[in-house]
Amino acid sequence: MTDISDGFAAHLAGEVTTLCQCWRLTRADGKVMGFTDHDRVIVCDATRFEPSTGFSASEAKSTFGLSVDTVDVEGALSAADIREEDIGSGLYDAARIETFLVNWNDPAQFSCLRVAVIGKVTRRDGSFVAELESLTQALDQPNGKTVRRHCDAELGDSRCGMVLEGAAYVGMGTLTGQDEGDLVSVEGLGDFADGWFANGLLTWSSGDASGRSERVTGHLAQSGGTARLSLWREGTLPVRVGDTFRIVAGCDKSFSSCREKFSNGVNFRGFPHLPGDDAAYGYVNEGGHFDGGVLVP
């Protein structure tokens, strides 16, 4: 239920109102941004809401039950506020959006209409449209543990238990070139074997992309201490030759890698000895071995 103060209720009941909508956006990295469809700055609930982006919203609705309600918010892309490269690099994925109804003539009178998260974002012609999904969207996500051969923990998290520190698992490098697509050339990783950082995480430590992380999909070691990396990216990050980065070793989620590469088999979170469909539905044959032993030596 929406809480409305007595003063705001009296204003809403009047013949003439001075109302606007404000949106407070909180990204996963903690940055808070405020926007409004009014034509001047609104300071409300300890947040500064800027008018320059020209935000506007579609009709919103709320339904009973557990269905996911959506509303579209449209705004302009600008270097000072919301940039296309930030959207493309995922900074706004699952960001929290609070929608306020505010008396712009007296911003102390306001009410929070809804809280949502950003779902799909569409970009076109210098503007964007963000689809806001109600919090019941979280109930529609898969939860629980999946029984499968590969590990479902993230390398280095509490379930994995691996401490990713030291020269064996962490490298520092510098960007020396980038090709069209996802391939980049780097130096500083000459001591690492081919493929060591495949499935790892690269975090930029200087330049315009400082603090951003990208998944490494391939690592090809070359002579002279150089290497080529393939990066998974939805948009182009503003990186330039000379930018530095930190990169951690990758894990392909297999039991053999967990045991041999990281010596962490005791914390493996998968089920490597599952027989699989072929074995479970196969027929006994004369040359088969069915001694109950482990499938992974």
Residue 22: its H or E element: strand 19-26
Per-residue pLDDT of the chain (297 residues; tens, 9 = 90+): 467 889 999 999 999 999 998 989 898 888 898 888 888 999 999 999 988 655 555 544 444 444 444 555 555 545 457 777 777 767 777 788 888 999 999 999 999 988 888 877 777 666 767 777 776 666 666 677 778 888 988 898 888 999 888 888 999 999 998 877 788 899 988 888 889 999 999 999 998 888 888 899 999 888 777 889 999 876 666 788 999 999 999 999 999 999 999 999 999 999 888 776 766 666 666 666 666 666 665
Name the residue ranges covered by the structural domains of the chain. Answer: 6-138, 170-248
Give the integer Cα–Cα distance in Å for 240 and 226: 17
Tell me the β-bridge partners of 115: 98
Looking at residue 142, what DSSP letter applies? -
- Highest CATH level, class, for 170-248: mainly beta
CB 173 within 8 A of CB 228: no
**pTM of this structure:** 0.60
Residue 71's φ and ψ, nearest 5 degrees, are -145, 145
CA-based max dimension of the chain: 90
Please check whether the domain covering 6-138 is classified as CATH 3.40.50.
no
